[in-house]
Amino acid sequence: MNIAIIGLGLMGGSLAIALKKLDFINSIVGTDHNTQHQKDALELKLVEKIVNLDDIKKCDVIFLAIPVNGVISILNDLTDVSKDTTIIDLGSTKELIVNSVPDSIRENFVASHPMTGTENFGPHAAIDGLYDGKVVVLCDLEDSGYIQKTTARKIFKSLNMKKYFMRSKEHDRHAAFISHMPHVISYSIANTVMKQENKHNILALAAGGFRSMSRLAKSSPNMWEDVFKQNKSNVLEAVELFEIELSKLKENIKNDKWEDVYKTMQEGNKLHDILE
Percent of the chain with pLDDT over 70: 100
Residue 276 has pLDDT above 70, yes or no: no
Q: What number is the average pLDDT over the span 105-121?
A: 92
Confidence class for position 202, pLDDT limits 50, 70, 90: confident
Bridge partners for 28 per DSSP? 3
Q: Taking a C-beta distance cutoff of 8 angstroms, is the pair 218, 265 a contact?
A: no
Q: Taking a C-beta distance cutoff of 8 angstroms, is the pair 53, 6 a contact?
A: no
Range(s) for CATH 1.10.3660.10 in the chain?
Answer: 171-275
Q: What number is the average pLDDT over the span 100-126?
A: 93
Nearest alpha carbon to residue 78 among 173, 157, 6, 180: 6
Tens of pLDDT, residue by residue over 28-71, are: 999 999 999 999 999 999 999 999 999 999 999 999 999 888 99
Tens of pLDDT, residue by residue over 149-176, are: 999 999 999 999 999 999 999 999 999 9
Range(s) for CATH 3.40.50.720 in the chain?
Answer: 2-166
Q: What confidence score (pLDDT) does residue 71 get?
A: 94
Count CB-CB contacts under 10 A for residue 169. 14
Regarding pTM above 0.75, the answer is yes
CATH topology of domain 2-166: Rossmann fold (3.40.50)
DSSP SS3 for 265: helix
Please give the residue that has the higher pLDDT: either 118 or 27.
Answer: 27
Confidence class for position 201, pLDDT limits 50, 70, 90: confident
Tens of pLDDT, residue by residue over 66-83, are: 988 899 999 999 999 999
Bridge partners for 62 per DSSP? 4, 87
Q: How far is CA 83 from CA 41, 75, 102, 124, in A?
A: 29, 14, 13, 34
DSSP track, 64-111: E-S-HHHHHHHHTT-TTS-TT-EEEE--S--HHHHHHS-GGGTTTEEE
* d(C-alpha 215, C-alpha 212), whole Å: 5
DSSP track, 140-154: SGGGS-HHHHHHHHH
Percent of the chain with pLDDT over 90: 81
Tens of pLDDT, residue by residue over 174-193, are: 999 999 999 999 999 999 98
Q: What number is the average pLDDT over the span 87-104?
A: 95
Q: What confidence score (pLDDT) does residue 84 get?
A: 97
Longest dimension (CA), the chain: 67
Q: What confidence score (pLDDT) does residue 233 get?
A: 96
Class of 171-275 in CATH: mainly alpha
